[in-house]
Structure formats: structure tokens, C-alpha cells
Chains A and B, each alone.
Chain A
Amino acid sequence: MQPDDTEQLAHDLSRREFIETAAAVSGLAMTVPVLDAQTAVPESGHVNCSLSINKIRHTLSLDPRVTLLDLLREQLHLTGTKKGCDHGQCGACTVLANGERINSCLALAVSYDGAQITSIEGLASGDRLHPIQQAFLESDGFQCGFCTPGQICSSIAMLEEARRGVPSAVSRDLSKPGPVDLTEDEARERMSGNLCRCGAYPNIVAAVRSTYHRGEL
């Protein structure tokens, strides 16, 4: 999409419609498999790895200094995952590794050889958004959108943790079995690894709680 087209689109559509359209467009793009089997002549010090990223296997020869975040963005051109602070303090780079949320900026890609990685690009099925993506739209859980991919990946794992009964720092009874009562306090504490400088927190909390209570995750 050229900048001019974007301006025209933004002019014609309301902000939310625009974002929905953009989300659907990127959702469609995801159905095209990434044909990126880099058959590598290993350079000196490089390490051969194989990572599954959004269900597509990538065979790679990597400089061990490359973080999972830089692998996604710079080498595989999956730029949905964002580089905010690059020091594990903001959560914009959150992805799922074998179903668990991690900061991809602190992860050396070589250390994740064999892992199943899911980034924001791997969530929608065609133009059908993931329930959490839909909930962020419905609750207006963002302003500028920069932290949103990280917020969404983080939420998916967070809701699964809450269902499993994993305690948090604000849980009254750490040993209570069964799903967590996801109060606002619980949602805020569990999402504290994802900063939003626009301050969309109330709507992010609403998005994750409504998804949890609807039992969609």
C-alpha cells in the first residue's frame, strides 16, 4: 500500500473502520506461506537452527548475536512484532514460544532452535481475526497501536495462565485451585509486562476480561 493510498483510505473511512480494514488486509496477507528456506552456507561462528514460526518451518544459519526479535523483523520481515525498548522493559516484542509469552528482544534466536514461535502475524485465520484481536477492536484497546501486537500476544498466554489457575502477585490465595477470578486488579498485574505509552490501559483491561468471561480462550 502506497502512502497516498493510505491517506485516501484514512480520509474515506473512520479511524476504526480504517484499522479494521488494515487488520483484515494484513490477515489476508498471512495466508501466503513465507517461502524463506534460507539454505545457508554457515559463516564462521554461525549456528544452524530450525525454528517453526507461525507454523512455517525455517531452516536458518544464524549469527548467535541475533535476537529472536531481530530474526523476525530484519530477516523474516515479520514486522508486526515491535522493538520498543530492546531491553525487556516494555513488552512490545512479546511473542509466544511453545505457547509461553516471552520478550523476543532478550531471546537469542539460536537458543530457540526447534521451538514453535507464534507472532502477531500467526493469529488470524485468513480474514477471521483471533478473538483477542476482535476484542481489542471492540473495546478500542489501543491508540497509536505500537504496543498492540505485544499486548495481544501477551493476553493470549495470560488468559491461558489464568484458566490454569496460575497465581499472580495480587492473588489473595495462591493455592486456590481452578480458574482465576480475573478481576481488574488481576488483569492489570498480569499484563504489567506490557507498557502502553498512550495509556489505553482501561480498554486493554476491558478487552482481555471480556474475552476471558466470554470463554473464547
Chain B
Amino acid sequence: MKAFAYIRSNSVDDALSSIAQHANAKYLGGGTNLVDLMKTGVEKPSALVDVSRLPLATIEARGDGVNIGAMASNSAVASHPLILERYPVLAQALLAGASAQIRNMATVGGNLLQRTRCFYFYDPSYAECNKRVPGSGCAAMSGYNRIHSIVGGSDHCIAVHPSDMAVALTALDAAVVVGNKRRERIIPFRDFYRLPGDTPNIETDLAPDDMIMSVALPAPISRHSTYLKIRDRNSFAFALVSVAAILDLDVDKRIRDARIAIGGIAPKPWRVPSAEQALTGQLPTEAAFARAAEILLEGAKPLRYNGFKVELTRRAVMRALSTASAS
């Protein structure tokens, strides 16, 4: 691991100053992804600003919504009574991710900023990776691209976003509260992650001196929800496909509002508004779910080794919607 300066911040202000003072400094939360990437040589920060002890771990009600501090651990969020009561789909997504050990260490802010698990990104012995070394090419394009994207990728990058939590937060229409020395702003989830285009090294809307302060959840629309995760083994593995589905049903059981966010198939948690709108006013039937899945996958472009993801996504969406409607 390359040497770095370690800076422990005593306050948010302190942390914001430290990050602004060091070029290529990174915030350290739980370190579960960053420390690993530093070991492999993918990340080589000049300094780590340790923010893990900052008083940003509170999970509290804000009216009918909830605010989750960026330093709350993944396990604290997954077992918090407010989250279990109002957003069970978020607790499910968190519990479907990683292991208990990693959930204890990992923070909410770190979870949002974890890097892709693309084999070629993770292993610097591959020279080609536009995300790691802009302009170097993409080894996955002609490589073993079984885990890669079927929507949202570009000729420069086909890596998928690995977070389960972010998929649930996207379905819940959450927002990321971000601050720096000059201002605080709120970024809706749909604008937080960027598609790779020709700059796959830029993954979010964050400026270099920004810090994630919290995640703001609006009032829940319904408890009819589920998180379905399909993976190569039943636990402690990243998603091949995952679905966060939320259905708001009226007294006649007709769908008032539908939210479908997909993980494992795109560079960011994937939502298709027209697929959700197709469910509005419908009864929760297999035919209606099939139609939504079809719209969702229009334009999907599978690669050499991940064609199975198209059918897997279609079936996962139908199953998740069916489970959500019956929940």
C-alpha cells in the first residue's frame, strides 16, 4: 500500500478543511472498500481524512420522512425501528448486502461511494480500464463480461454499480445531502450517479471537496414492497440482478403508484419511469407486470457473456412486483 497521511477530524468543519487542503485526499469511513482498493493499488490517496467518528451517525424522523446520517453503519440502519417500520425495503436491501462483519463497519456514505466490482477495474494488472486510467480502454468489452451492464453502459465502460442500498434508496426517491465549505445542497438520487459516457472515471455529481452529510428519505408511499436479489450464491455475494419494488394500492387493489429500481444491470440503480407509469391504474396482475418488465428492458443491449441478464431481469421484476403486491 502506498504511504498516505492520516488525518483524524474532530469536527465536520475540520474534515472539510482537511479535504480541501490535500490534493487527492479521500474520506475514510468504514474502509471496507477503500482500504481494499488501496491494497490492490487501485486507489492511491495522498491522505485519508478519517470521518468515522464525526457526529453524523444519527437516524431520526423528519416529519413523515427520515434522515440518516452519513456515518450510520449499514447494520444500524438495517435494524433501526424507524427504518423497519417505514422503509422495510431499505432494511431488506441492506441485509441482502455483504456480511454482518462488513455491514458493521460500512457506513451509509461509503456504501453510496463504493466502486464497481468489475474484475478489470479491480485488478491493476489489466492496463485497460477507462474508469481507473482515463483513455486506456475497456478490457471488459472484449473480456469476460458476465457481470456487466445490459443498459446504461457506453463504449468506454460497461461496469455496474454494486450497491444494494442505493437501489432501495432510488426506489424510495431519497436524496443525498451534501456539504462543502461554501454551501449545503440536496441532490435527488436520480441526479446523484452519472452514466459513464466518455468519462467513466466521474461517477457522481460530487465535487472533490464535497462530503456526504446524510441521506434524506421522503414519507413512504406504501409498505407493499420487497427487495429481491439474485446472485451466484445465496448469501454474501453481489447481485447479478436485484429489484426494489414498491406498490401503492388503492382500496380496490388498483395500483396508484409503482416504483421499480433495478440493481446489477446498469452503471447506476436503474429506473424507467414509463414502465412504472404503465402500471398506474392497473390491477396487480401477471399481465400488467409482464408489460412493465417489457418496457423496462426495451433497448437492453446484452454483451457476449451476459445475455442471461435480460431474461433474469424480466422474471425478477415480475416476481418482485408480485411479492410486493401480496405483502
Query: How many Å from the CB of B48 to the closest CB on chain A?
Result: 7
| Cβ A102 vs Cβ B101 within 8 A | yes
| Cβ A101 vs Cβ B100 within 8 A | yes
**Which residue on A lies nearest to B1, using beta carbons?**
A65
Contact of A174 among B35, B84, B101 (CB under 8 A): B84
**Which residue on A lies nearest to B5, using beta carbons?**
A45
B35: chain A residues within 8 A (beta carbon): 67, 106-108
A171: chain B residues within 8 A (beta carbon): 95
Contact of B95 among A108, A157, A158, A167 (CB under 8 A): A167
Q: Does A103 interact with chain B (Cβ within 8 Å)?
A: yes
**Which residue on B lies nearest to A169, using beta carbons?**
B95
Contact of B48 among A64, A91, A103, A175 (CB under 8 A): A64
Bound-state Cα–Cα, A192 to B85, Å: 26
| Cβ B102 vs Cβ A108 within 8 A | no
| Cβ A87 vs Cβ B84 within 8 A | no
B28: chain A residues within 8 A (beta carbon): 108, 111
| Cβ A168 vs Cβ B101 within 8 A | no
**Using a Cβ–Cβ cut-off of 8 Å, how many residues does chain B contribute to the interface with A?**
37
Query: How many Å from the CB of A151 to the closest CB on chain B?
Result: 12
| Cβ B32 vs Cβ A169 within 8 A | no
A106: chain B residues within 8 A (beta carbon): 30-32, 35-36, 102, 105
Bound-state Cα–Cα, A113 to B9, Å: 13
| Cβ A167 vs Cβ B91 within 8 A | yes
| Cβ A167 vs Cβ B101 within 8 A | no
| Cβ B4 vs Cβ A65 within 8 A | yes
Contact of B100 among A64, A110, A111, A161 (CB under 8 A): A161
Bound-state Cα–Cα, A169 to B235, Å: 9
| Cβ A64 vs Cβ B6 within 8 A | yes
B104: chain A residues within 8 A (beta carbon): 100-102
Contact of B3 among A65, A154, A189 (CB under 8 A): A65
Q: With contacts A174-B92, A188-B235 known, what are 16 further pairs, Cβ within 8 A?
A: A45-B3, A45-B5, A65-B4, A100-B104, A103-B101, A107-B31, A107-B35, A107-B105, A108-B28, A154-B101, A169-B235, A171-B95, A175-B81, A175-B84, A189-B234, A193-B98
Q: What is B's interface to A at a CB cutoff of 8 Å?
A: 1, 3-6, 8, 28, 30-32, 35-36, 39, 48, 50, 52, 75, 78-79, 81, 84-85, 88, 91-92, 95-96, 98-102, 104-105, 234-236
Q: Provide a sorted-by-A list of 20 A–B residue pairs whose CB atoms are within 8 angstroms.
A: A64-B48, A65-B3, A67-B35, A88-B32, A103-B101, A106-B31, A106-B35, A107-B35, A108-B48, A110-B6, A111-B28, A111-B52, A166-B79, A168-B95, A169-B92, A174-B88, A174-B91, A188-B235, A192-B99, A193-B100
